[in-house]
Structure 1
Amino acid sequence: MSKTLLTATAALLCGLSASLSSHAAERVFALDEQVVTAARVEQTPQHNLAATTVIDRAQIERSQAQSVPELLRRVPGISLANNGGPGKSTSLFMRGTNSNHVLVLIDGIKAGSVTSGGSALQDLPVELIERIEVVRGPRSSLYGSEAIGGVIQIFTRKGDGQGAKPFASAGYGTHDSYEGSAGVSGGDGQGHYSLGVSGQDTDGINVKPRGVSGYEDDSDGYRNLSGSLNGGYRFANGLELDGHVLQAKAHNDYDSVNSKRTAGFGANADGVTKVIGSRARFAPLEPWQVTLQAGRSEDKSDAYQDGAFYSRFDSRRDVLSWQNDLSLAEGQLLTLGADFQRDEVNSSTRYAEDSRDNHGAFVQYLGQFGRQDWQLSLRHDDDEQFGNHDTGNLGWGYLLTDELRFTANYGTAYKAPSFNQLYYPDFGNPDLQPEKSKSLEVGLSGEHRWGHWAANAYRTEIDNLIATVTSKVNGKTVSMAEGVDEARIRGVELVLGSELFGWAWNASYSLIDAENRSQRSKNGIAYYGKDLNRRPDQTFNLDLDRAFGDFSVGGSLSAQDASYDDLENQSELAGFATLDLRGEYRLNPEWRLQTRVANLFDADYQTAAGYNQPGQAVYFTVRYQAL
């Protein structure tokens, strides 16, 4: 995919807005929904100052996406690196930051592995998700470590309090792929509940090309069985209690044969992702709301090779939160809170340290003054291993006209090294220090009768950036976690959506310059000026959908520029573009038939060096949702 083509596409995206108003259907985009992730309290989009993308249940079903990464790849500023198709390890990069610089929340509980520092997004069940909020930009001042690039919060399905409503789906596709889900949600106005199960099974593809290290001549399958339970009740005195649990159990086959081809055959792993949480909300006084939340997230993996047990990684994170929201006046909200977090590791691999605690306290002020919105947040964290860290965010928004808004944000963030980065044998470095960042962003957005658009420009500087550095030691290739010293990231995001000749469409373009600014060198290679690996300079996404009575059709185009797979910029990943087509027939208001062709033109590409990606595939789904 040439840079010229992507740049031309961006120019077209900018220019289209000038001509749309005379052709587009006259409609006003709904602004009455609430978002919570950017400020830890409910906000309407017109008062939210962060660059935020919301993916709701209707969008999930319309896209026919089969995984969370498949949904997220369409979000501006996000790129993905996948190790061989469905269910395989997937790294997400937001705004050019590292893959573990994104905090993942599930129903308000921090999720992910404390060993790798990442989250198994590929294992989370799409059919049991109600909505996803993606906040781009630092949020350590509210959530603590990890939120350098942004925050992704996933909300599981929840009853609407209007009686029992069962749902179900079943599908089949290429590579002998099966999918199914069933559940029921509902309530009575004061109470709500949702119970669901979801399963997936596919033969998959061979994750590695012939001749690549680790190659084994087989298909690497994947299966997943997940369940979720969500419920709550509001008492007459205003007390609200709710709880939730989500568990995903996955089996994954992969290639891991050693260089001498004497061991590592039949490699596979059984993984479990589990998040459980509870929350109580009440108002001791009319302007004062208290929220108490507790939860646990678990990430477990047992690996096998040559028909025998190979390794076990079991990480656990316990969290407690106390939040106080004080309404000072109309449009003026003060939030005070405290968090506790404990991370633990239990593994067949010995770690020098296997647990650590963190205590955090934060304060936030949200203010509305006529056409202005303000957000100020400060946080202090006391990490058992790394001491004290102070972070902050300052945001300002100004409504230039009834349709045009300007925003500016400045924020600092930090990320404590993961247990693997510190202690994993022959990889970890116990001398690593927390990564620290500062970011500045300005944005301009418009909401019109013909559609919406937004443009955001940002700059992020990261000190003590931790990266995997590969070198030769006694003729052997060795990878270690090392501090890169400094990185600078600059970027622009453009978003445009409307209706044109009956087609609803949304487009986004991202331009990222993620540069290593380290003064160090290794193996005769200077890092300064090199690109940070697996961050394409340009990405473009376009979604089109149109209904013809009971029929609807749509398509998704995704394209990205070339990038480097390694920090030394020696291994290049070619740019590529994929096109997916989809169709749906509504038998009646409750039953639908869906079909999708993924990678229509059978593009051959890689997002991680040495790992194949699926070619053309066809899927069929029948879906039921009671009204």
Structure 2
Amino acid sequence: MMMLPRTPLGNLCKTTCLAAPASPTFFRGFSALALMTSACLSHAAPLHLDHQVVTATRTSQPIAANLAAVSVIDRAAIERLQATDALDVLRRTPSVTRVNNGGPGKSSSIGIRGTNSDHVLVLIDGVRVGSVTSGNAALQNLPIEQIERIEIVRGPRSSLYGSEAIGGVIQIFTRQGSTGAPKAWASATAGSRNHHVGSAGVSGGAGNAWYNLGVSSLSTRGIDARPGRGDPDNDGYRELSANLKLGYRFANGLEIDGHVLESHSSNDFDSGFKANTDAVLKTHGVNARFAPLDPWRVTLQAARSEDKSDNFNGSTFNSRFDSRRDSLGWQNDIDLAPGQLLTLGMDHLTDQVSSTTDYRKARRTNLGYYAQYLGQQGRHEWQLGLRHDDNQQHGQHTTGNLGYGFQLTDSLQAVGSIGTAFKAPTFNQLYFPNFGNPDIKEETSRNVELGLRGQHDWGNWAVNVFRNEVDDLIASVNLGGGVWQAENVNKAVIKGIELDLAGHWWGWDLAGNLTLQDPSNRSRRPGQGDLLVRRPEQLFNLDVDRRFGRVSVGASLHAEGRRWDNAANTNELSGYSTLDLRAEYGFNHQWRLQARISNLFDTDYETAASYQQQGRAGYLTVRYQML
């Protein structure tokens, strides 16, 4: 059995999905959140919404000015939450679902608003990543200590990025450099099941040059991912990574920067016997920015991402899947007038795979042209986007987006948007032997969204209602006799509502969100009306923190309703809730000691059938930051 993110079985596991009514376990967690949230609404203090985000518009905009549903997780929040991996952070945001196959470092996938995991576009420092065979990005192999900030945009963004952005976009920014004298940082973590993490880095600059260098390592004994179904021992994980960024600004205003991220990992898993995968995740990129004229800014980009894996059964080599994505970009931002920005651009993408598996075609290109107009006048804001893609395998596609916002009062804004998107089939779906189907069509979607946002003296909140229709949804269909094939199964309709709240109350920082969604199969075949696979109908998160001088304490509650593990809705996975506790002591402005207990009540749950999740675990971290 090969690693799930890169094989048809992985596609089968993530293809469609969802759940039925929530279990009592979910409601206990939800009730606790509702009580704490209602108690805080009338006493919370204002938050600052001055984060600059770039993913929703491909230009730098204040988060409060974005018409899209955007969440931002910065370095301070990552360290406060004491997260162990990027997926642990992502699942705390509205409408984000994680499916994990057995503990740290194991095959994982992320879905946004009930869409498939390959409907989420993932960028690292602006570079498109993800396996071209499975369509998944190996975020489980991305070192959390190298991340500076994460931006999550919910809703389609094909009008800016082309294929894959049906459910949303996740962009991860690695640690940034800075000018001035060198500043070092370091951390060391020890935890349950021989969990050890070490990281260190330095950033600085001289004159107009700046740099950042960071290294990180992780090892864990892991858990027995599939008790009773494979080799009865723990399935470990090891990772070694490095990140380098360099930049220089010339006297004429030209700015050039480059970045390299590499993560090498080794992952043990059960396949009826002991098996393991050696994987490499790489991103490389060079950017140039200059202004030919005062209102005109140009950005040029050349980048490459690689996702490689060598798979072994015991000590015997089994298979290799190496995918590569090369991209070139040219973007022009033109200030037409105050509050009026026109963006014109083009990008070229080449996907290719090298493998021990014989793919009938192993390379394809995509050329895209896009335009966007951002405007603001009085209480009105708007965003208009249009893109045309010419895909070597699937022809030409035009997608668009229209967003509008109206400031009802100084503290209340109504927003609405409509958008279309498409997703080209993966190489597995097209050409994998005895599974691929070269006749399948691309998936397309139409999304409608309405929202209401408030920023008050007691805090901030947002409500978003969405409806996304996905046509020609690609699923793994059982042809009988143990034979599966990728096919277009007509349509899925995903409806939902998101509620998001953040504030400060009597010295306590609070952030909570609730998602209620209905992702259903609307195909004209058996299963019509069933819920899509592995998507809970209810998602709930609550983070509470407080500082007492040098000491800070916090807790995180995460709850999900039950879900179905198969398209026929006969294999149920129970809902669950987990509670994490954390504390921190600051010796001074440079040194901190952190402690965390995850899954305090040792909840037993699964996000994929037969794959056990990690139970109660404790972690102790020492952090150093030179000022």
- TM-score, normalization: structure 2? 0.94
CA change 1:11–1:552 in 2 (3 A) is closer
Q: Provide the rounded CA distance (Å) in 1 between the counterparts of 2:259 and 2:308.
A: 19
**Which secondary structure state, in structure 2, belongs to the residue aligned with residue 290 of structure 1?**
strand
Q: 1:500 matched to which residue of 2?
A: 505
**For residue 441 of structure 1, what is the aligned residue in structure 2?**
449
- Structure 1 residues 3, 455: closer, same or farther in 2, change over 3 A? farther
User: Which deviations, in whole Å up to 9, do the C-alpha atoms of 1:229-263 show, x marking residues without a partner?
Assistant: 01111111110100101011010000112xxxxxx
Q: Which residue of 2 aligns with 1:42?
A: 60
Instruction: Compute the displacement of 1:467 (Å).
Output: 1.7
Which has the higher mean CA deviation after the structures are superposed, 157-166 or 549-558? 157-166
Q: Quick one: higher RCO (CA 8 Å, sep 6+), 1 or 2?
A: 2
Distance 2:585 2:110 in 1: 33
Instruction: After TM superposition, give the deviation of residue 501 of structure 1 in Å.
Output: 2.2
Given that 1:56 and 1:131 are in contact with CA atoms closer than 8 Å, whether structure 2 keeps it comes out as yes
- The reply on whether 1:381 has 2:389 as its aligned counterpart is yes
Is contact 1:13-1:496 (8 Å) kept? no
Q: What amino acid sits opposite 1:623 in the alignment?
A: R
The structural deviation recorded for 1:471 is: 5.3
Paired position in structure 2 for 1:278: 286
Query: 2:488 & 2:621 partners in 1: Cα distance?
Result: 47
Gaps of 5+ in 2: 1-20
Indicate the SS of the match to 1:85: coil
Structure-2 residue corresponding to 1:23: 43
Out of 151, 155, 158, the position equivalent to 2:169 is 151
- C-alpha displacement at 1:352, in angstroms? 0.6
Verify the 8 A CA contact 1:574 1:605 in the aligned structure 2. yes
- Check if 1:469 corresponds to 2:477: yes
Shift >6 Å, 4+ stretches = 7-19
TM-score by length of 1: 0.94
Q: Does 1:531 pair with 2:551?
A: no
* CA apart distance, 1:9: 7.5
Q: Cα deviations across residues 294-315 of structure 1 (Å, max 9, x unaligned)?
A: 1000000000113111000000
| Alignment of 1:236 onto 2:251 | yes
Matches within 5 A, 1:251-270: 251-257=266-272, 265-270=273-278
1:314 is matched with which residue: 318, 322, 345? 322
1:557 is matched with: 557
- What does 1:605-624 correspond to in 2, within 5 Å? 605-624=605-624
Q: Aligned residue for 1:118?
A: 136
AA aligned opposite 2:199: S
Shift of 1:204: 0.4
Shift of 1:360: 0.3
Alignment match of 2:467 (pick from 459, 463, 487): 459
Matched, 1:348 2:356: yes
d(CA) in 2 for partners of 1:471, 1:447? 53
Distance across 1 between alignment mates of 2:542 and 2:350: 41
| Residue 347 of structure 1: how far off its partner (Å) | 0.1
Distance 1:225 1:510 in 2: 35
CA distance in 1, matches of 2:449, 2:433: 39
Partner of 2:12: none
Shift of 1:93: 1.0
What whole-Å deviation, never above 9, does each CA across 1:556-583 have from its counterpart, x for those lacking one? 1000000001112121111000011111
Cα distance, 1:209 vs. partner?
A: 2.1
Q: CA deviation at 1:32?
A: 2.3
Match of 1:430 in 2: 438
Structure-2 separation of matches of 1:6 and 1:169? 35
In the TM superposition, what is the alpha-carbon distance from 1:544 to its structure 2 partner? 0.7
Offset from partner CA, 1:132-171 (integer Å, 9 cap, x none)? 0000000000000000000000001012324211000111
Deviation string for 1:449-481 (max 9, x for gaps)? 2111000000000001012234531xxx33332
Deviations 1:26-64 (A, max 9, x none): 4x3222221000000010122111000000000000111
Aligned to 1:481: 486
Which secondary structure state, in structure 2, belongs to the residue aligned with residue 100 of structure 1?
helix
1:185 and 2:203 equivalent? Answer: yes
1:362 lines up with 2:370 in the alignment: yes
CA 1:362–1:303: 2 relative to 1, 3 Å: same
Alignment of 1:40-439 (within 5 A): 40-188=58-206, 190-210=208-228, 212=229, 215-257=230-272, 265-439=273-447
Answer yes or no: is the 8 Å Cα contact 2:22–2:538 preserved in 1.
Answer: no
Would the alpha carbon gap of residues 13 and 203 (structure 1) be closer, same or farther in structure 2, given more than 3 Å must change?
closer
Equivalent AA in structure 2 for residue 323 of structure 1: Q
The residue identity in structure 2 corresponding to 1:480 is Q
Identity across the alignment (%):
56
Q: Is residue 399–residue 406 contact of structure 1 (8 Å, CA) maintained in 2?
A: yes
| 1:227 CA drift (Å) | 0.4
Contact 1:469 1:567 in 2 (8 A): no
Residues 350 and 407 from structure 1, CA distance in 2 versus in 1: closer, same or farther, beyond 3 angstroms?
Answer: same
Deviations 1:414-465 (A, max 9, x none): 0000001111112211111100000000000111121110000000000010
Cross-structure match for 2:521: 516
The residue type paired with residue 62 of structure 1 is R
> Are the structure 2 counterparts of residues 219 and 33 from structure 1 closer, same or farther at C-alpha, using a change threshold of 3 Å?
same
Cα-to-partner distance string for 1:567-608 (whole Å, 9 max, x where unaligned): 121211110000111111111100011111011000000000
**What is the Cα deviation at residue 550 of structure 1?**
0.6
Kept after mapping to 2: 8 A contact 1:181/1:196:
yes
Count, aligned residues: 607
| Contact residue 276 and residue 314 of structure 2 kept, 8 A | no
Contact 1:276 1:297 in 2 (8 A): yes
Question: Residue 71 of structure 1: SS of its match in structure 2?
Answer: helix
Determine helix, strand or coil for the equivalent of 1:267.
Answer: strand
Aligned to 1:261: none
Question: Quick one: which amino acid aligns to residue 341 of structure 2?
Answer: L
> Residue deviations 1:244-289, cap 9 Å, x none?
01011010000112xxxxxxx3210100000000100000111111
Deviations 1:524-568 (A, max 9, x none): xx1100000011000100001111111111111000000001112
